[in-house]
Amino acid sequence: MKLDAVLRRPVALTEKANLLRQKGNQVVFEVVREANKSEIKQAVETLFGVKVLSVNTMLYRGKDRRMGRGYAKLHNWKKAVVTLKEGDSIDFFAESAADAVTAKK
């Protein structure tokens, strides 16, 4: 699997993800369901240039939602909590790519 296809999006706007980022130096991503921990680790290290200590993954079942008059089920998805080395960080809300790199160092 290509490394840039492993990570779908960061889960950065939840209370738990913000607490993990501030206190535990951890970042939360939604990843492809077929990805394993070593692929997730390689993808984060190469795309963001940080050192990953550990990866924890969770499978989430899609919720049932109303779509018009009937019900539909949202897709199942996988969440990965990535623990970064002390001193490394990933800034998702930087103004530009240059700011994200300087904030990382």
DSSP per position, 16-51: HHHHHHHHS-EEEEEE-TT--HHHHHHHHHHHH---
Compute the distance between CA of residue 9 and CA of residue 56 in angstroms, rounded to an integer. Answer: 16
State if pTM tops 0.85.
no
Q: How many residues does the chain have?
A: 105
Closest CA to 82 of 54, 58, 59: 54
pLDDT on residue 98: 56
Is residue 99 very low, low, confident or very high in pLDDT (cuts 50, 70, 90)?
A: low
Task: Write down the pLDDT at residue 105.
Answer: 53
In CATH, which of 3.30.70.330, 3.90.650.10, 3.30.40.10, 3.90.550.10 is domain 3-104?
A: 3.30.70.330
Please write the tens of the pLDDT for every residue from 58-98. 999 999 999 999 999 999 999 999 999 998 888 877 776 55
